Amino acid sequence: MLSRKFWLPRPLFSLFLALLWLLLVNDFSVAHTLLGLALGVAIPAVTHAFWPEEARIKRPLPLLRYVLVLLVDILRSNLVVALRILRPARHLQPGFFLYPLTLDDDFAITILASTISLTPGTVSLHYDAKAQTLLVHALHLEDEADTIATIRERYEQPLKEIFR
């Protein structure tokens, strides 16, 4: 007999996919709801073999704090980037820098790289597993050490707390 893990390997992800489908089609009819639920069950079931092991969140309260900090930073960065773009180009100082990682969990590193890319004005470009670094591009890079310290304090340290 097939277990629940076979049919519904990631229940929250399945629910997320169903809701995402309804938002994308912008139609909350019964047919689209059933199609969204079918996609929410089928996609994780078909791709389950390619997924790494499940991340174990040890402390959910710091995760909630992390998400709130990220949302505030995204809003603030959107305003800063908009102002910088509206000014003449001579005020921009784009640059690349290597961010030295202290995280050792692959899932936490992926979350950190995604967080950097979600925040307007920065994007993570490359993860070097041997050197334990992320290559990051910033739209405006005044002080590399300050930017690294900010990422470490606002994102990497909370991720260590969440996934330790």
Per-residue pLDDT tens digits for 15-33: 888 898 999 998 889 999 9
The token duo for 32 is: 């689209």
Residues 118 and 70 sit within 8 Å (Cβ to Cβ): yes
DSSP code at position 54: P
Helix (H) or strand (E) holding 122: strand 122-128
> Quick check: 105 pLDDT over 60?
yes
Q: Report pTM.
A: 0.70
Q: Closest Cα to residue 55, out of 7, 114, 100?
A: 114
